[in-house]
DNA sequence: CTGAAAGCGCTTACAG
DNA sequence: CTGAAAGCGCTTACAG
């Protein structure tokens, strides 16, 4: 068989058709599997593709199919503190999953409520679907996308009732961790510090915490529960109060709160877990590396990414997807609560 | 003026041409600025674009120009420890810069030496250029890309002599930080712990450290210098030795080493900076949040990303770019060395 | 099972 | 300064 393609140029459909003396139509069908092609012809095409090292020009394919083979992923650009690894992992597992199905992953940065990058991708019609890794509180991302008739999936809560979403079992996790702590501490000795309650995730955390008390039949020690704690000053004051109340175990809403708490404790000469036990409703490398390592709830960002990507691709390819998918959690019992 | 486009369909070039009674050629030229168009016609086209809310189909444009308007960014999927924020910030600033120039950013995950995602993007010809955020030691990424005749830029060192690269001034930074420490410590009291010396960055760090001693006229206390320290056990032993040698100041090669060191110190009941001073050649949130905050060298990931992206786009658009661009650093003097 | 031809929405040499 | 027409590399109704 002679090489038809000019030196240096990459082969295209026509080269294969010529080499085999058949039409481009047949070659195209042999590759895509759409329409009938005899097994023999199909095999010749496949062999020839190998020999000529053919690989389709995806832009041409995109153009003719009116399909980009791109998934846009909205990632917050201004993630604070320890959030970066979460979004990284999400993005990477999405991209891995997409790549396996021959889609590319386009990054869409979102700084606060600035949706200009999202708008750009939507206008230029360069994505077949959008994954939102952190929806805004006002649902504006979802609305913008839905307005362009592009399918989307969110990770975490969405204010939009018809959003397809994937999330972690925050409430159940928090309930389980609290239940564990209730086994080793007097209920009245447990304290809770949560961040802003306008965030759904913090409300879920509080629900899980409450549920565990309810299940155990114990009363929630209301004076040890601090919601909406945001600034460092508030936090410092909160820790002071918890210590004054002789609290033996502090549950922190997330890793950032937790790090701040242990810093306060260490500055007061209190040691973990001898003087006080500490746990966090959200894990991060910080908590794992701290000395002593801190008990925490872990939600797998990688699985969230993979699941979401698979869902997105299913939707694009016309299968239907469940409106809600909830993934599990892991309880990492470490030295801070022993 | 009447709306020509059918309801619900997005306008295209032809709609504008018809609405204005001119040819698509002219409309195209008015938009791109290529070829002469009278100012009046141009203005009418621009007005009509607004009115019809026209926005070009980028895939069609791509196809006809044989240009994707995509930049591929290779990001390590298996970044360890605190590296995530660095690559995140790089990626995000690249995407922001690209978006401003109407390019999209395609994520290419690289797990170890697995280049399958990179290969895919290259084969499908879906990127006009590639940015490598962390080249492999064997130059295989660069070679793969160069073999496909696609331009690329690396962040950090590259083994390939003709790579265009952007990097931080590691050596200079380490020299300056060491010089600062030499002002407040006896040269013989300073210790250094560096990771694997097969990494160029660690060699640069050592060079900077040495240079500072040379400049000050002091001798390097060889017995306090530990290179190639990797495991936790090695590290623990190293700290023991430095303490036995009555070392008053430990410089850590990076933030992970530094965190491990402070953990060892705290377990030995040593306090920073009273008993021993600590500094790191690489900053991260950990060091900033630690109590006390730790003196470190900061390299701006955002600037690296922006600069690299701008360079990449310049190359793609035919301008020529310097082979090497070195960005500065910041010295964050914090309580750990006071 | 196979093919000729139209079409996807732009850009651009070529001719005026 | 402007336009008719070809072309980018695929897919797919339509006809056989």
Nearest residue on chain A to B286, judged by CA atoms?
A: A286
Give tens-digit pLDDT for A18-74: 889 898 899 999 999 887 888 888 998 999 999 999 999 999 999 999 999 999 999
A88, A117, A126 ranked by CB distance to B88: nearest: A88
A82, A105, A291 ranked by CB distance to B263: nearest: A291
The mean per-residue pLDDT over the stretch A270-297 comes to 94
Å separating the CA of residue A15 from the C1' of nucleotide D4: 30
What pLDDT is recorded for position B6? Answer: 40
Percentage of chain A lying above the pLDDT 90 cut: 83
What pLDDT is recorded for position A8? Answer: 53
Give tens-digit pLDDT for A285-320: 989 988 899 999 999 999 999 999 999 999 999 998
Q: Does B12 touch chain A (CB under 8 A)?
A: no
Q: Does B114 touch chain A (CB under 8 A)?
A: no
Question: Taking 70 as the threshold, does the pLDDT of residue A251 lie above it?
Answer: yes
Percentage of chain A lying above the pLDDT 70 cut: 98
Chain A residues in contact with B289 by the CB 8 A cut-off are: 259-260, 263, 286
E-strand stretches of A215-293 = 225-226, 249-252, 277-280
Give tens-digit pLDDT for A165-185: 999 999 999 999 999 999 999
Chain A residues in contact with B121 by the CB 8 A cut-off are: 104
End-to-end CA distance of chain B: 73
What pLDDT is recorded for position A40? Answer: 87
Q: Does B81 touch chain A (CB under 8 A)?
A: yes
Q: Are B142 and B158 in contact (CB under 8 A)?
A: yes
Å separating the CA of residue A13 from the C1' of nucleotide C3: 15
A 10 A CB-CB count for B76 gives: 19
Nearest residue on chain B to A286, judged by CA atoms?
A: B286
Nearest residue on chain A to B61, judged by CA atoms?
A: A63
State how far the alpha carbon of A287 is from the alpha carbons of A76, A279, A282, in Å: 23, 9, 9
Angle, CA of B109, B113 and B116, to the nearest 5°? 50
Chain A residues in contact with B102 by the CB 8 A cut-off are: 120, 124
A104, A124, A290 ranked by CB distance to B106: nearest: A104
What pLDDT is recorded for position A5? Answer: 38
Please, what is the average pLDDT of chain A? 93
Number of H helices, E strands in chain B: 13, 12
Number of H helices, E strands in chain A: 13, 12
What pLDDT is recorded for position B38? Answer: 87
Give tens-digit pLDDT for A224-234: 999 999 998 99
Rounded to whole angstroms, the Cα distance separating A300 from A284 reads 11
E-strand stretches of chain A = 70-76, 104-110, 129-132, 152-155, 164-168, 190-193, 225-226, 249-252, 277-280, 295-298, 324-327, 330-332
What pLDDT is recorded for position A2? Answer: 30
Q: Is the CB of B38 under 7 A from strand C?
A: no
Rounded to whole angstroms, the Cα distance separating B230 from B150 reads 37
The mean per-residue pLDDT over the stretch A117-127 comes to 97
Question: Taking 90 as the threshold, does the pLDDT of residue A337 lie above it?
Answer: yes
Say if the Cβ atoms of A124 and B99 lie within 8 Å.
no
Chain A residues in contact with B109 by the CB 8 A cut-off are: 92, 95-96, 99
pTM across the whole model: 0.93
Say if the Cβ atoms of B109 and A117 lie within 8 Å.
no
Q: What are phi and psi of B296, to 5 degrees?
A: -155, 165
Protein residue minimizing CA–C1' distance to C8: A64
What's the gap in Å between the CA of A158 and the closest CA on chain B?
A: 23
Question: Can you give the pLDDT of all 338 residues of chain B as single tens digits?
Answer: 233 334 457 889 989 988 898 988 999 999 998 878 888 889 999 999 999 999 999 999 999 999 999 999 999 999 878 899 999 999 999 999 999 999 999 999 999 999 999 999 999 999 999 999 999 999 999 999 999 999 999 999 999 999 999 999 999 999 999 999 999 999 999 999 999 999 889 999 999 999 999 999 999 999 999 999 999 899 999 999 999 999 999 999 999 999 999 989 988 989 999 999 999 999 999 899 888 999 999 999 999 999 999 999 999 999 989 999 999 999 999 999 99
The mean per-residue pLDDT over the stretch A114-128 comes to 97
What pLDDT is recorded for position B80? Answer: 76
Taking the CA atoms of residue B287, residue B291, residue B295 and residue B297 in that order, the dihedral angle to the nearest 10 degrees is 10
Q: Are B104 and B98 in contact (CB under 8 A)?
A: yes
């Amino acid at each position: 068989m002679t090489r038809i393609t000019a030196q240096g140029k990459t082969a295209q459909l026509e080269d294969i058709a010529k080499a085999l003396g058949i039409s481009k139509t047949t070659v195209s069908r042999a590759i895509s599997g759409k329409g009938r092609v005899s097994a023999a012809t199909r095999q010749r095409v496949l062999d020839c593709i190998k020999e000529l090292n053919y690989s389709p020009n995806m832009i041409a394919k995109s153009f003719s199919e009116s399909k980009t083979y791109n998934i846009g992923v909205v990632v917050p650009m201004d993630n604070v503190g320890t959030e970066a690894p979460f979004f990284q992992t999400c993005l990477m597992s999405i991209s891995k999953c997409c790549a396996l199905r021959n889609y590319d992953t386009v990054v869409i940065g979102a700084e606060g409520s600035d949706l200009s990058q999202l708008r750009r991708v939507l206008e230029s019609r360069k994505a077949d679907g959008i994954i939102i890794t952190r929806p805004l509180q006002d649902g504006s991302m979802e609305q913008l996308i839905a307005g362009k008739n592009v399918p989307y999936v969110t990770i975490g809560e969405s204010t939009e009732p018809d959003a397809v979403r994937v999330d972690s079992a925050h409430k159940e996790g928090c309930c389980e961790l609290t239940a564990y702590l209730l086994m080793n501490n007097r209920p009245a000795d447990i304290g809770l510090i949560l961040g802003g309650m306008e965030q759904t995730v913090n409300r879920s955390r509080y629900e899980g915490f409450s549920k565990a008390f309810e299940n155990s039949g114990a009363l929630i020690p209301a004076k040890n529960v601090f919601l909406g704690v945001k600034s460092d000053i508030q936090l410092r004051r909160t820790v002071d109060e918890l210590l004054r109340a002789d609290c033996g175990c502090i549950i922190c809403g997330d890793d950032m709160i937790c790090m701040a708490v242990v810093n306060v404790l260490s500055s007061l000469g209190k040691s973990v877990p001898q003087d006080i036990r500490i746990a966090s409703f959200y894990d991060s490398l910080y908590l794992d590396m701290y000395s002593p390592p801190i008990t925490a709830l872990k939600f797998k960002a990688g699985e969230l990414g993979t699941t979401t990507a698979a869902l997105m691709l299913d939707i694009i390819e016309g299968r239907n997807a469940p409106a809600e998918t909830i993934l599990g959690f892991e309880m990492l019992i470490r030295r801070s609560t022993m």
